[in-house]
């Protein structure tokens, strides 16, 4: 996808960071943060602010703005390379999961295993990314309590294993004075949210204790109108309840088709909640028929 060619031309005269912000805003323009109505672009902006405050140069700040474009949008490495050059592209690639098809545990273990050997530039972006995630998560946990974990593919125990493991990997990497302040803040956030004791392995935490990840993809149709049948109208304030109900019904790795008379915002938010959990997600549109939203295992 040649994003920078198919979109309107970026205004002339912008600096590197400003160009990266415009590019990222366009790439993420239809996305929201999981379990909220907050535009997704707020996350890479916060990552960039953390890097800027820590004194990193414009290329690292730009990479922070772009760090999720390869993993979560249709942007390709060639798009980034043509728009921002090889160094920024390599940083974004190093901070991205290369393959979304394995299980959550396999993907997170890969991140832990590779980050210690990554360049300091990649480690800076990864550290700022996780620091931004944890800051947001801790604020939500203070407001919502343990119910906040229902928004994620894995619960508190698995998240604790991942963040403690990632912290250990970052601490085991060759010392980099420029990373010291970010790493210290990340260490404090991990301890504040998950405690000082690190789990040695991710606990087995299926979203639905009665279901197991299928050996082959399980096809299922999900009528979103059933989520609010009792009230006859979908309410944004009930979104966490809707997401919890969906995650309890849908086993990991399933092929899901969304259907039913429901508002567009509910379709978008449920699709976002299922991203990374299901193998394939489609929408049965009364106008265009079956539309594939994403496929993490294309043939």
Read off the pLDDT of residues 196-210 as tens digits, 9 standing for 90 and up: 887 877 776 554 443
Counting Cβ atoms within 10 Å, is residue 48 exposed (0-12), middle (13-18) or buried (19+)?
buried
- Please compute, for residue 173, the number of CA atoms within 13 A of its CA located in the half-sphere on the CB side: 25
- What is the average pLDDT score of the chain? 85
Using one digit for the tens of pLDDT, what is the confidence trace for 187-198? 999 999 999 887
Residue 171 falls in the annotated catalytic set:
no
In this prediction, residue 212 carries a pLDDT of 43
Write out the two tokens for 120.
Answer: 């300091």
Q: How many CB atoms lie within 10 A of CB 180?
A: 11
In what order do the strands lie in the sheet containing 289-295?
219-223, 255-259, 280-285, 289-295
Residues of the chain above pLDDT 90, percent: 44
In this prediction, residue 159 carries a pLDDT of 93
Fold classification of 3-194 (topology level): Hypothetical protein af1432 (1.10.3210)
In this prediction, residue 4 carries a pLDDT of 44
Using one digit for the tens of pLDDT, what is the confidence trace for 6-63? 344 555 567 999 999 999 999 998 888 876 778 889 999 999 999 999 999 999 999 9
For 54, the 3-state DSSP assignment is coil
In this prediction, residue 1 carries a pLDDT of 47
Residues of the chain above pLDDT 70, percent: 88
Q: In Å, how far are 44, 156, 160 from 251, measured between CA atoms?
A: 30, 18, 22
Secondary structure element (H or E) that encloses residue 285, with its range: strand 280-285
For 275, the 3-state DSSP assignment is coil
Where is average pLDDT lowest: 47-56, 62-71, 121-130, 258-267?
Answer: 258-267
Write out the two tokens for 237.
Answer: 């304030």
Q: What is the pTM of this model?
A: 0.68
For 257, the 3-state DSSP assignment is strand
Whether 214 shows a pLDDT value over 60: the answer reads no
Whether 277 shows a pLDDT value over 90: the answer reads no
Q: Is the dihedral of CA 142, 147, 152, 154 positive or negative?
A: positive
Catalytic residue among 71, 136, 140, 205: 71
Residue 59 falls in the annotated catalytic set:
no
CB 162 within 8 A of CB 194: no
Q: What is the mean pLDDT of residues 253-281?
A: 84
In this prediction, residue 297 carries a pLDDT of 59
In this prediction, residue 275 carries a pLDDT of 80
pLDDT confidence tier of residue 262, bands split at 50, 70 and 90: confident
Higher pLDDT, 263 or 218: 263
Highest mean pLDDT of the ranges 4-8, 78-82, 202-206, 232-236: 78-82
Q: In the chain, which segments carry CATH 1.10.3210.10?
A: 3-194
Rounded CA-CA distance 225/227 in Å is 5
Q: What is the mean pLDDT of residues 123-147?
A: 91
CB 68 within 8 A of CB 34: no
In this prediction, residue 276 carries a pLDDT of 73
Using one digit for the tens of pLDDT, what is the confidence trace for 282-298? 888 766 677 777 776 54
Q: In Å, how far are 77, 85, 187, 240 from 82, measured between CA atoms?
A: 9, 6, 36, 40
Rounded CA-CA distance 290/151 in Å is 26
Catalytic residue among 68, 72, 79, 129: 72
């Amino acid at each position: 996808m040649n994003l920078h060619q198919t979109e309107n031309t970026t205004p002339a005269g912008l600096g590197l960071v400003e160009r990266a912000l415009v590019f990222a805003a366009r790439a993420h323009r239809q996305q929201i943060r999981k379990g909220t109505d907050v535009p997704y672009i707020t996350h890479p902006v916060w990552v960039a602010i953390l890097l800027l405050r820590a004194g990193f140069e414009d290329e690292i700040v730009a990479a922070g703005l772009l760090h999720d474009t390869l993993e979560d949008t249709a942007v390709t490495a060639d798009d980034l390379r043509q728009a921002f050059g090889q160094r920024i592209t390599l940083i974004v690639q190093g901070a991205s999961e290369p393959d979304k098809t394995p299980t959550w545990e396999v993907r997170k273990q890969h991140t832990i295993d590779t980050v210690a050997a990554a360049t300091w530039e990649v480690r800076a972006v990864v550290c700022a990314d996780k620091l931004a995630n944890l800051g947001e998560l801790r604020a939500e946990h203070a407001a919502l309590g343990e119910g906040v974990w229902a928004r994620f593919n894995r619960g508190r125990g698995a998240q604790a294993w991942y963040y403690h493991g990632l912290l250990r990997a970052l601490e085991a990497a060759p010392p980099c004075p420029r990373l010291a302040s970010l790493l210290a803040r990340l260490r404090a956030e991990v301890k504040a949210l998950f405690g000082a004791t690190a789990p040695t392995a991710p606990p087995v935490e299926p979203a639905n204790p009665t279901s197991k990840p299928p050996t082959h993809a399980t096809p299922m149709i999900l009528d979103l109108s059933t989520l609010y049948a009792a009230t006859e109208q979908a309410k944004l304030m009930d979104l966490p309840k809707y997401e919890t109900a969906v995650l309890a019904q849908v086993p990991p790795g399933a092929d899901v088709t969304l259907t039913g008379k429901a508002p567009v915002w509910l379709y978008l938010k449920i699709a976002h909640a299922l991203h990374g959990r299901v193998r394939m997600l489609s929408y049965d549109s009364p106008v265009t028929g079956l539309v594939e939203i994403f496929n993490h295992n294309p043939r």
